[in-house]
A = this chain, B = another copy of it.
């Protein structure tokens, strides 16, 4: 059984940063992006961001387009970060009306998901956090966050809510910062449909070993609901082409995803600022497929033995032989 690959649709669009807010490229229309996604070898699904990609207004149209191009809607990511009203938080915002709006926005996404036959809501509350010392009421705000997340999980027991962590950006500190924090949050929600998304770049920038984080979540009762893939230089969420910087740790991650029975999607989440978006996604999937085929039965057996033994010289030799094809 092979891995299922997807992509966040916006990867194929224009991308901006704070210095070039108009973006480095031109914005293609929705159909173009969907077609481009469909053309990428291996891609079977897309994730859609609320506001940016999907709204109640265009849900039917997007649904038709996906159908036409043979793509599944893998997840909806409610927009809890991309409008002025979320500037100081969504579920944990100090203003009651903003918290209520976050609930509404997420429920709107849930309704769209149901309509599109999509079973997963990926929640990234990127604005929920703080920037300065002496600015946040940790007790109160963490409680609000827990409360809001519990409400949405309870309201849609047929959908899975996967909480995506990221230690910083756009805030200097986020409430859902690391794998363990977020597993604790899923535990506080206490419902079977609350789980965690690992974004590989977020795990790396948090100083985590991606594979250990995956194991920890799976060990806690299959709480790894979803995976986002990208690469970076460890200190920031550079959102680069998968495998452009790291190799060994992706091999290890894919090994452990298999060992712990992960059956979710392998979804690309890049920010190809200056690159051709389709090319960047295509390369990322091709890299992961490369790792996937490297992990044949014999390799799985060998790695099982390597991690049992723990001899770094042997582990490194194994890797080297694979890279330089002397294995």
Q: Give the interface of A toward B (CB within 8 A).
A: 15-25, 81-84, 86-88, 94, 126, 130-140, 142, 167-170, 172-173, 177-178, 180-181, 183-184, 187, 206-209, 211-212, 215-216, 219-220, 233-236, 238, 240-241, 243-249, 251-252, 255-256, 259-260, 271, 273-276, 279-280, 282-283, 286-287, 290, 293-294, 303, 306-313, 315-320, 323-326
Contact = CB atoms under 8 A, between A and B. Distances in A.
Which 6 pairs, one residue from A and one from B, show the smallest C-beta to C-beta distance? A279-B313, A180-B180, A290-B324, A134-B315, A138-B215, A133-B248
A149 to B, nearest CB: 15
Contact of A19 (B81, B137, B260): B81
Given A84-B22, A181-B180, A207-B206, A94 B310 contact: yes
Given A88-B274, A248-B245, A310-B88, A236 B234 contact: no
B276 A87 contact: no
Total identical chains: 4
A84 B131 contact: no
Given A133-B248, A245-B133, A312-B244, A323 B290 contact: yes
Contact of A323 (B140, B238, B247, B276): B247
Given A17-B18, A87-B274, A173-B212, 4 more contacts: A19-B81, A20-B82, A178-B181, A235-B236
Contacts of A81: 19-20
Contacts of A245: 133, 246, 248-249
Contacts of A260: 139
B294 A324 contact: yes
A257 to B, nearest CB: 12
A216 B133 contact: no
Contacts of A207: 167-168, 177, 206-207, 235
